[in-house]
Amino acid sequence: MTRRTRSTAPAATTAASAPDTAPVLGLVRALRAAGLRADTTRALAFTDALAAVDAPARADRVYWAGRLTLCSTRAELDVYDACFAAYFGASPPAPRPALPVPARRRLTALLGPGGGEQGGDDGPEAHRPAAASGTEVLRTADLGLLGEEERAEAARLVSLIAADPPRRPARRTAPARRGRLDPRRTLAAAARTDGEPVRLSYRGRTDRPRKVVVLVDVSGSMAPYAEPLLRLAHVLVRGHPGATEVFSVGTRLTRLTRELSAADPARALRAAGAAVPDWRGGTRLGEELKEFLDLYGSRGAARGAVVLIASDGWERGDASLLGGQMARLSRLAHRIVWANPHKGQAGYRPRAAGMAAALPHIDDFVPGHSLEALQRLARAVARGRAEGGGARA
């Protein structure tokens, strides 16, 4: 209700033309060209809104009528402002304060890597008995430093990791031993016993599989770890069929879910290996993540999912892009688990620019360098639900 004085001057030029449909459609078309979803429903709402605010008489209201009906995210508002200015040759009436949206950060960022991890990374190493069995040693050995024979044995052991699929609460209830009283069944039973509710029946909340998305970095710096990680992805796909999606990232985004669905680990891995075009290439994590979100994530693959990203965070591209995409992902996903093999090394700090940019958006930051670490990783995925209540407050 303030500052109208400033806006009337430029807006006056639009007064004559705003109400008829041609400019309206023009603005909608311009917005679509700029990437907004301004669909027919929204366009119709826009024309309704124009009528409602009495646009012919009050051209200054066209801005708000359009903004309220045609936009649906904060990010779209700037595009809208630009299109509006370009189209009507008028600046939007009231400036929004140019406050940056605070990036969501969590305490993990402040604690630093390992600072908040329970158990600690070097725990098992420190307590390893002197005469450990061969398997025991293999369990904690860095997968990147294994010989040929040990590698094969490790691969076999990875496939034995039990993948407990994460669940999420569903809206439906089912008869259960505990929970809320089920009046329907209780009363039905009571009718059979002369109206006497001898046995009380209950209904409990059901749950459903939670989606899992696995993104495995197959770039050069991840070479020794990519194979065991894909094996783990295979375990997850097999243990959680229909709810797991696997992609490889590097310089290209490749969907590997179908390849990894084969029952035999060796066959699945061969198929996946053949499907990935960019083994041991570079990393463009930010762009890949954007592609994943554009193509799959925002269409539902990442919504409410546990997202596992296995990468060392060496980003060739602009790390700020990765940070932005991680923020986007964190708003879609239920939890983000990031496995970084280098985290298993003593004295590791997340110095890689990509890692530092991604860190604030990660819920579980775990190593992924040994069999034991992979097992912990599988558990972190299975946990699915944040301990102690809601996902992220």
Q: Please, which residue, 233 or 293, has the CB nearer to another protein? A: 293
In the chain, what is the straight-line distance between the N-terminal and C-terminal CA atoms, in Å?
A: 35
* Binder among 119, 134, 147, 195 for another protein (CB under 8 A): 195
Choosing from 36, 45, 163, 246, the residue that interacts with another protein (CB under 8 A) is 45
Q: What's the token pair of residue 266?
A: 């060796």
Among residues 71 and 382, whose Cβ is nearest to another protein?
71
Which of 8, 23, 26, 81: binder of another protein (CB under 8 A)? 81
Q: How far is the CB of 351 from another protein (least distance, A)?
A: 20
Q: What is the 3-state secondary structure (H, E, C) of the chain?
A: CCCHHHHHHHHHHHCCCCCCHHHHHHHHHHHHHCCCCCCHHHHHHHHHHHHHCCCCCCHHHHHHHHHHHHCCCHHHHHHHHHHHHHHHCCCCCCCCCCCCCCCCCCHHHHHCCCCCCCCCCCHHHHCCCCCCCHHHHHHHCCHHHCCHHHHHHHHHHHCCCCCCCCEEEEEEEEEECCCEECHHHHHHHHHHCCCCCCCCCEEEEEEEECCEEEEEECCHHHHHHHHHHHHHHHHHHHHCCCCEEEEEECCCCEECCCHHHCCCHHHHHHHHHHHCCCCCCCCCHHHHHHHHHHHCHHHCCCCCCEEEEECCCCCCCCHHHHHHHHHHHHHHCCEEEEECHHHHCCCCCCCCHHHHHHHHHCCEEECCCCHHHHHHHHHHHHHCCCCCCCCCC
Contact letters for another protein, residues 205-244 (x by CB under 8 A): x---------------------------------------
CA distance 239 to 2: 60
Between residues 124 and 179, which has the closer beta carbon with respect to another protein? 179
Does residue 25 belong to the site contacting another protein (CB under 8 A)?
no
CB of 159 to another protein, least distance (A): 32
CB 202 within 8 A of CB 179: yes
Q: Work out whether 82 is an interface residue with another protein (CB under 8 A).
A: yes
CB of 59 to another protein, least distance (A): 13
Instruction: Candidates 150-158, 178-186, 237-245, 373-381: pick the segment binding another protein (CB under 8 A).
Output: 178-186
CB of 79 to another protein, least distance (A): 9
* Interacting residue with another protein among 123, 175, 183, 277 (CB under 8 A): 183
Q: Which is nearer to another protein, 243 or 378 (CB)?
A: 243
Query: Which range, of 61-69, 118-126, 263-271, 346-354, touches another protein by CB under 8 A?
Result: 61-69
The smaller minimum CB distance to another protein, of residues 44 and 266, is found at 44
Question: Whole-number minimum distance, CB 183 to another protein, in Å?
Answer: 4
Residue 122 binding another protein, by CB under 8 A? no
Site for another protein contains 171 (CB under 8 A): yes
Rounded to the nearest whole angstrom, what is the least distance from the CB of residue 180 to another protein in the complex? 7
Candidates 78-86, 221-229, 230-238, 345-353; binding stretch for another protein (CB under 8 A) = 78-86
111 is an interface residue for another protein by CB under 8 A: no
Binding residues for another protein restricted to 310-349, rule: CB under 8 A: 331-332
72 binds another protein (CB under 8 A): yes
Q: Please state the closest distance from residue 199 (CB atom) to another protein, in A.
A: 14
